[in-house]
């Protein structure tokens, strides 16, 4: 977590230090007071500016589902409230239908590397050449 003091926050926001302290005191800026000092989370201030927060170069996430397939978006079709995402995983294609807001929140674009997470209570297996 990257914490800024009032002077650093003022530089980031291009404001006077006294103005930053006044906004924090009035609850208009997310801040915490520690003794006589104001502390600000960089991520929260950058979010107010509409900037993506600075993230480490290598990120990871943990999820309970064990069936995760890494692939690349090969086609993206957004229409109305829904988005159809086609992902190339090796020589296979997987299609997922998600909400438009999820696609926009994730900032999905053709060529992005993504994970397809499969969580199901039932998976069918098929094999060519055998019918019974």
Same domain, 42 and 72: no
Same domain, 80 and 39: no
Please give the tally of structural domains in the chain: 2
- pLDDT computed for residue 33 by the predictor: 87
Distance CA 62, CA 14 (A): 37
- Length of the chain (residues): 132
Report the CATH number at residue 36: 1.10.10
Which token pair is 106? 């994730």
Report the CATH number at residue 76: 2.40.50.100
- pLDDT computed for residue 60 by the predictor: 63
Same domain, 77 and 109: yes
| Confidence band for 82, pLDDT divided at 50, 70 and 90 | very high
- For range 82-88, the mean pLDDT: 94
Of 36-45, 64-73, 122-131, the poorest mean pLDDT is in: 122-131
- Whether 55 maps to a domain, the answer reads no
- Is residue 57 a contact partner of residue 42, using CB atoms and an 8 Å limit? no
Same domain, 44 and 75: no
- Is residue 68 a contact partner of residue 117, using CB atoms and an 8 Å limit? yes
Same domain, 71 and 41: no
Same domain, 11 and 43: yes
DSSP 111: T
**For the segment 47-68, what is each residue's pLDDT rounded down to a tens digit?**
888 766 554 445 666 766 667 7
- pLDDT computed for residue 68 by the predictor: 78
Is the model's pLDDT at 70 over the cut of 90?
A: no
Which token pair is 20? 């930053």
Q: How many CA atoms lie within 13 Å of 46's alpha carbon, on the beta-carbon side? A: 12
Give the predicted TM-score (pTM) of the model: 0.49
Range of the domain at 8: 3-48
Which token pair is 23? 């906004």
Same domain, 78 and 37: no
Distance CA 5, CA 79 (A): 44
- Whether 131 maps to a domain, the answer reads no
- For range 60-82, the mean pLDDT: 83
- Is residue 3 a contact partner of residue 41, using CB atoms and an 8 Å limit? yes
Specify the pairing of strand 32-34 against strand 113-118. Answer: unpaired
**For the segment 8-40, what is each residue's pLDDT rounded down to a tens digit?**
999 988 899 999 999 999 888 899 988 889 999
């Amino acid at each position: 977590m990257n914490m800024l003091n009032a002077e650093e926050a003022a530089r980031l926001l291009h404001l006077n230090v006294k103005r930053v302290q006044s906004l924090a005191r009035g609850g208009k800026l997310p801040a915490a007071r520690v003794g006589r000092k104001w502390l600000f989370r960089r991520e929260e201030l950058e979010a107010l500016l509409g900037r993506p927060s600075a993230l480490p170069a290598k990120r990871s996430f943990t999820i309970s589902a064990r069936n995760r397939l890494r692939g690349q978006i090969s086609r993206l079709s957004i229409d109305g409230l829904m988005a159809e995402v086609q992902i190339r995983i090796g020589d296979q294609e997987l299609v997922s239908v998600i909400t438009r807001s999820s696609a926009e929140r994730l900032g999905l674009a053709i060529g992005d590397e993504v994970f397809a997470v499969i969580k199901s209570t039932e998976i069918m297996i098929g094999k060519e050449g055998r019918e019974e």
